[in-house]
Amino acid sequence: MAKQMQMTGTAAMLLLASLQAAHGQTATSLPSVQYLRDGTIAYAMTSLRWATYLKPDARVDCPDGVNDGPREQFAALFPDQGQPRALADTQLRREIQGWFPTTRPDYFPFREPGGTQALGLNLDGEVGPEDFTSLDGEPGIDNQMYRALGCINSHRDAQGINDSLNSGEIVSNEYNRLLVELNGVDDLGNDDEVEVMVYRGLDALHTDAGGKDILPGGTQRVDVRWGKKFIQRLDGRIVGGVLTTEPSDLFIPWAVFNLPADEYLRDARLRLTLTPTRAEGLIAGFTDIESWHLQMMKSQSTHCQSYGQQSSMSLYKAMRRLADAYPDPQTGANTAISSALRTTFTQVFILPESKAALAGSGPLPRAMPYGGAPFPRTPEEEAGDVPGRVVATGEP
């Protein structure tokens, strides 16, 4: 459907060769497989990480140090001074603070990254005082999530335990088998109008004999039964081999530790560098904080949060303070936070027969509309001002 910038076959081959060269392939080793067929190419997600560090091997600079986790905060709040401590007043109060977090000021200082650079996209089209500059100099980058997560050991670099666990499950857990299919592609280098379909796949990824490297050319069936929620349509364009989609709400299946859980990004957009065999880049949008928090609490117990000094209650307060979008109509407080995820994909072929149930159903859907916070609470409950509530020790 490219209406402009049609490339000749030779130009396309040259671009293809340059894209492959960028990924370690040479023009002489061009794959014989035709990955783009009848205007369609598909990819399966192979990693997904919050863009909370600039480079995988470089820790975020935290001028004030890193944040304490559940274990350290418990010890500070409830020191063992030889007096009996009640489980209800200590352990359960901390669990309550995790499951019912409030926006009251934190008892502990919250440490944020220094610097002016962050990964992400300019989500609001503006350049503001809280915005970052990208590594290649683009101003106006909206990624407040970086401020929230950057100085938590779990997310400070690619060795952060929760960061790597979460991303590992993208591959190992078939619940998370996200597929992106580009339709109407005349040219993988430039096409000003492509349809981008998002599905959940049903099959394991195709790997090398060692089981580690994920290879292109695998096949996937579309989950048209349990995965209806994840069937979503986006509009995109390709410029210089980079796919960019128009803002649209997006569900991403992201179960961790065998619990079904999803991310919900509002005004999400993909920016992916495409080759015939791989795609990589960013998914950016505004993360619904209540959904994010509940997902994290469910999939990572307080024990798992302790792996990387991630205090859920401190993090919630920080996220609400840093939130920069979707104000609550009642209170005016922002409910979503600008975010970016770095992601990689490998090419797959979607078996046509597995999409039979989709055929003839008319235009495929946008993301299901936002249904509200998964754990509805009153403004007073969010603020922690409910009379008679259990007052958590340590809150001012």
Partner 1 sequence: MPLPPGVRVQATELEGPVFADAKGRTLYRWPLSQLRNGPTGDPPGKSECNDVRTEVSAGLMSPYPGGLRLPDLEQRPTCTELWPPLKANERARPVGDWTILKRKDGTLQWAYEGFAVYTSALDRRPGDVLGGRSDKRGGDSPVMREPIKPPPDVPPGFAVTTKSSGRLLVTAKGFSVYTSDHDAPGRSNCDAACTETWIPILAPALASPHGEWSLVERSAGVRQWALRDRPLYTYRLDGDTNKLKGSDVPGWHNVYLQRAPAPPAVFTVQDTTIGQVLADAQGRTIYTYFCGDDAIDQLGCDHPTQTQVYRLAICGGGDPERCLRAFPYVPAPENAKSTSRAWSVIYVDPLTGRLADRRRKGALRVWAFRDRPVYTFAGDRRPGDAFADGHGEFRGQRNGFKAFWLRDDFFNGDQPGPG
Rounded distance between C-alpha atoms, residue 354 and residue 201, angstroms: 10
CA atoms within 13 A on the CB side of 286: 20
Judged by CB under 8 A, the residue of 1, 27, 30, 88 near partner 1 is 88
Give 142 or 263: the residue with its C-beta nearer to partner 1: 263
- The token pair at 260 is 């079904």
Q: Does 91 bind partner 1 (CB under 8 A)?
A: yes
Q: Is residue 369 part of the contact set for partner 1 (CB under 8 A)?
A: no
Answer for the pair 243, 370: CB distance below 8 angstroms, yes or no: no
Q: Hey, is 9 helix, strand or coil?
A: helix
CA distances (Å), origin 237, targets 113, 185, 195: 34, 9, 8
- Closer Cβ to partner 1, 139 or 260, answer by number: 260
Q: Which of 340, 174, 332 is nearest to 267 (CA)?
A: 340
Query: Does 383 interact with partner 1 (rule: CB under 8 A)?
Result: no
Q: How far is CA 391 from CA 93, 100, 152, 248, 395, in A?
A: 8, 11, 26, 40, 8
Minimum CB distance to partner 1, residue 100 (Å): 4
Q: State which residue, 144 or 291, has the beta carbon closest to partner 1.
A: 291
Q: Assess 212 for contact with partner 1 (CB under 8 A).
A: no
Q: Got the DSSP string for 308-338?
A: TT--HHHHHHHHHHH--EEE-TTT--EEEEE
For position 31 contacting partner 1 by CB under 8 A, the verdict is no
The first and second tokens of residue 34, run together, are 């035709």
> Two tokens at 334?
């922002």
Residue from 110, 199, 230, 316 binding partner 1 (CB under 8 A): 230
Applying CB under 8 A, does 386 fall inside the site for partner 1? yes
**Contacting range for partner 1; rule: CB under 8 A; set: 6-14, 32-40, 355-363, 368-376:** 368-376
CB of 312 to partner 1, least distance (A): 12
Q: Which residue has the tokens 């991630």?
A: 310
Position 344: which residue type? T
Distance CA 150, CA 148 (A): 6
Q: Which of 298, 321, 355, 366 binds partner 1 (CB under 8 A)?
A: 298
Q: Which amino acid is at 350?
A: I
Nearest CB to partner 1, comparing residues 298 and 355:
298
Applying CB under 8 A, among 50, 74, 146, 345 the residue interacting with partner 1 is: 74
Give dist(CA 104, CA 366) in Å, integer.
36
Of residues 129 and 371, the one with the C-beta less far from partner 1: 371
Chain residues 316-335 in contact with partner 1, contact rule CB under 8 A: none
Nearer to partner 1 by Cβ, of 23 and 85: the residue is 85
**Tokens, residue 289:** 């904080």
When asked if residue 258 is in the footprint of partner 1 (CB under 8 A), the reply is yes
Please count the other Cβ atoms lying within 10 Å of the Cβ belonging to residue 384: 18
| Pairing label, strands 278-288, 334-350 | antiparallel
Q: What CA–CA distance (Å, rounded) separates 393 from 175?
A: 38
- CB nearer partner 1, residue 61 or residue 381: 381
Interface with partner 1 (CB under 8 A), residue from 302, 312, 314, 346:
302
Q: How far is the CB of 370 from partner 1 (least distance, A)?
A: 11
**Among 6, 135, 375, 379, which residue interacts with partner 1 (rule: CB under 8 A)?**
375
- Pick the closer one to partner 1 by CB: 91 or 244: 91
Closer residue to partner 1 in complex, CB, 131/263: 263
- From residue 140 to residue 159, the character string flagging contacts with partner 1 as x (rule: CB under 8 A) and all else as - is --------------------
Give the span between the Cα atoms of 41 and 181, in whole angstroms: 6
Residues binding partner 1 (CB under 8 A): 69-71, 74, 80, 84-88, 90-96, 99-100, 173-175, 204, 225-227, 229-230, 253, 255, 257-262, 294, 297-299, 301-303, 306, 371-376, 381, 386, 388-390
